[in-house]
Amino acid sequence: MPVAVIKTKSELALSEQFQAALPSLPGGPEVATHRRAAIAAFTEFGLPHRRIEDWKYTDLRTAPKDPALPSVDATAKLTVADLIVALGPFMNMDAARIVFVNGHFRAALSNVTGTDTITVTPLSASFDSLSPLSTDAITALNTAFVTDGAVIDIPDGVTLEQPLLVVSLSVGRDARLSTIRNRISVGAGASATIAELYLTLPGSTVDGQTNALTEVTISRGATLTHVKALSEGGRATHLSNWNVSLGAEANYRAFQLSSGVALARNQIGVTFTGEHAKIDVSGTFLGRGSDHIDTTLTVDHAVPHCESRELFAGVLDGHARGIFQGKIIVRPHAQKSDGKMMARALMLSPDAEFDSKPELEIYADDVVCGHGSTAAELDEDLMFYCQSRGIPAAEARALLVKSFIGEAIARVDNEAVRTALEACADAWLAQDQTNSAVT
């Protein structure tokens, strides 16, 4: 029996904003058709809520924020000097970059020197290639509102020596919805390191909203290190999807750092399509105050002889809530699959909460799959060890938290990227000490 679902204020606002924004959104008539279909699909889905199993811990219907107006133009004034400030620890890296401001490509801020062996273009240059994804409410909203993103094509056999940064900056006094669609394609035997950065220009609103979707295809024998650093400011909302498919003997090393965000939902879906491929999908989530950071991961062993490793380590202080949902699917014929998944939380406050939901769906009989989950306070013996070496309690605490995060970040093999991620984590920790010093 069909049930009439009452639309929330946010749902209605999103539909209205879509109608208003549509004439200004990029792309030809075909794209506009995709967008209309996507918003219709969204209306059908509604905002996800806790009675949908995958959204049990993250209810967007009750999220306190109204949707921000979509960003449809690129008027914010910005110089390279501003960009350098916003990049923080990533500015010292020898890296190429493609830069988006409030969801729009900025050629003047981008620098793709050293990437002549590959193709890096903004989606806005070839908008009609947009794939009309509407698998759930979040991807539907992405298709409806997307304004730009990076299209990265690494030809067969090419090794990209320096990392490529895909920078998404939130700028301005008013909260805006930035919708980004990236597409990364790594050719057979090719290799690259790509880092997506979601940052806010210091002094801008920290209420920004982002919906980012990245489609990744990794061909036979290729290697991709794929990193995301999220630090958009204290009250930001961030919804993201990584849809990854990898071919035979390919190697995918992914890492996501989430900090400085009020509400984040990071969805990662990886599908093995060829045998003897390997993935390591790891990350760290850092929450305090009433931050809510959700990582929802699905690894699909659709073919035999593949290996998956996941390690997510979170630090939760104040009333922060961390969520890890990890699902490993092993299809009936996917024998010799090898999967290991681990989620850990360091609880710095009695009011913090960690919800961990591992799921193994195994339909083959010759597989090795395991998962684990822990939530613990700081180890008192380690605290004593540090203090006995003269390190004061507050500093010892910071050192041990850093150690906990460091263990996860150590999975990032590119040293420059790893160092920058460590600096991001340090900056997050330092904010705590600043706050403590004030109170």
CA–CA separation, 143 vs 1, rounded Å? 30
Nearer Cβ to other proteins, position 11 or 422?
A: 422
Nearer Cβ to other proteins, position 269 or 406?
A: 406
Nearer Cβ to other proteins, position 79 or 403?
A: 403
If we measure between CA atoms, which residue out of 346, 340, 392 comes closest to residue 369?
340
The nearest distance, CB 12 to other proteins, in angstroms, is 47
Nearer Cβ to other proteins, position 171 or 429?
A: 429
Tell me which DSSP letter residue 7 carries: P
The nearest distance, CB 285 to other proteins, in angstroms, is 16
Nearer Cβ to other proteins, position 203 or 392?
A: 392
Query: Would you tell me which residues interact with other proteins (CB under 8 A)?
Result: 380-382, 384-393, 395-396, 399-400, 402-407, 409-410
Is there a contact between 334 and 364 (Cβ–Cβ < 8 Å)? yes
Which helix (H) or strand (E) element contains residue 33?
helix 29-45
The nearest distance, CB 403 to other proteins, in angstroms, is 4
The nearest distance, CB 418 to other proteins, in angstroms, is 12
CA–CA separation, 213 vs 241, rounded Å? 5
Residue 408's contacts (CB-CB under 8 Å, 6 or more residues apart) are: 255, 282, 283, 284, 311, 312, 313
Residue 40's contacts (CB-CB under 8 Å, 6 or more residues apart) are: none
The tally of CA atoms less than 13 A away on the side-chain side of residue 136 is: 15
The nearest distance, CB 254 to other proteins, in angstroms, is 20
CB atoms within 10 A of CB 155: 14
Nearer Cβ to other proteins, position 387 or 431?
A: 387
CA distances from 240 to 160, 311, 313, 366 (A): 25, 19, 19, 34
Which residues, in sequence order, are bridge partners of residue 213?
A: 181, 241
The nearest distance, CB 416 to other proteins, in angstroms, is 17
Nearer Cβ to other proteins, position 410 or 430?
A: 410
The nearest distance, CB 404 to other proteins, in angstroms, is 6
